[in-house]
Structure 1
Amino acid sequence: MSDTLAHVAEADPVPVGEPGPERSAGRTVLRYAVRLLLVLVFALPLLFMLVSSFKPDTQIFGDLDSIDAFLPVGDVSLDNYSAVFDRVPFWQFMMNSVLITVLTVVLGLIVNSMAAFALARLKFRGQGILLGVILATLIVPFETLALPLLWWVNHLPYYDGSIGWLDTYEVQIIPFVANAFSIYLFYTYFDSIPRELDEAAKVDGASWFTIYRRIVMPLSGPAIATVSILTFLPAWNQYLWPLMAVQSESLRPVLVGIDYFSQLTTNWGQIMAYASMITVPVLVMFIAFQRAFINSIATSGVKG
């Protein structure tokens, strides 16, 4: 009896408050089950869209009550994709969106980072008030500004001497270059960089622009990645503003193009084909840069 008690006393005690192996395994299973459920919730609509893009309408509606709705079975072909290219200039829409998105991101990085550098590193009267005014614009929805902005750009002089920017590439890019949220992200990151680097650069005769270009920006990789991604998504997904400001078919981006395409046909397979072609490239890019995306979001708010 005494030997048994001594053996029990020598055994490793279970720490108070820590779950046992069975409970830990149950939590792991539950965690993965929740993740799997979230994957299904977000992935199944995309899978349905992609699979339906290869089917005729009769089969799409016929498969709705079975698992075949998510499987490429039955009358599968590329006819819907061919019909998209026959009805609308899809590649023109795609190239318009690529051009608008790339220029918005590049110009946005330059303008917003320079504005944030001035607010974070320079000292001037009214600096705090100016930053507060910029941040206050975040609470104003774009729908409130759309009509005044439309009137304003319609009265601006164009480079060829005419008046009005409507129905141009510029009207889809310039109004979205400056962004308050991007300025704030750059400002918080620039503010965390030691100012001793500025003083050392000034001793060597560096100007403020040199400090910005050769010291601050090279140290701000996470902030640049975050701003790039967060600028890319709304620029690619523009719909309301191009619908108001652009009339020419040759200048329409892909999202306005799909609205135009849906007016030309009621064939759901063709609409799914169009939607797949503008969605899959973005998904592929996100998957390819998923780690960089997550790391940029996680580190952009870390100071020091």
Structure 2
Amino acid sequence: AVGAVATTGIFTIMVTKCAVVAALSLLVLAHRSLSLSCIRCHEIDCPVPTCSYGVTKDVCGCCDECAKGPGETCGGPWGISGSCSEGLECKLNQNIPGPDFNKDGVCVTKARSDDDCVGFCTADWRPVCGSDGKTYSNECGLNGASCRNPYDNIVVAHRGECRSAWTPEGNACIKGNNNLVLDRISLDDCKARCEIQTGFDCRSLEYHPRSRRCSLSEATSNSNSYRVPCPNKGWLFTETIGIAHPGIYHRLRSIRPRRAVGVTDTHAEVDSVA
């Protein structure tokens, strides 16, 4: 008899807990399904918000409130959790049961379709080099690619086709060329595009921040490394194109190979740019 009473008591407690949970769930659903009730806007003293991502109207359309930025909560019934700022959209949490109206989400960059981007470009060959390292037939084509790939932030790097690029890990020298081109980024971290004409293959390119010049290390058959000019003529650019110091160049002169490494710099003046 005692065991039966204990079992009945446990069963009663479990049923009670289930009833409480069910009641709470119904209250939440009821709260989300309540009608929106707003007072008259002229009866509200609206505060002036200070916002990082612009302002939007509250759910009643009366007061300004801060728009939500990337990664912030948005959505909910009547947008009670906030609206995203311009250029963002609310990505709803599909794990929340029920209609989308009741779902919260987070603000993410608005996806663009081809219909949102330019649909027609002329076939004119006026090449531009994009910041993604790709050559586009004209600026219209680049703008279309930038629109379809907003995360890549593609902009015009310079007019004309893209030049050959180097990275510190790969071969820095391109056989058969005769000039070195550096842009402003090169002066800081030696990661910019580079065209080199030296007439020989080499293994690496060293950057000297103090002198703001580069030198090449040539690998020989006996595994010794010699420093050689990089190159005899090097034009320094403030942008990817455009000469910063016309008429003057800095030349690196090294001693002959098979001797100790040594570099001295000389200055020369020229009357015109080749």
The TM-score, its normalising length taken from structure 2, stands at 0.18
User: Which structure has the larger Rg?
Assistant: 2
TM-score (norm 1): 0.17
Higher share of residues assigned strand: 2
Q: As a proportion of its length, which structure holds more helix?
A: 1
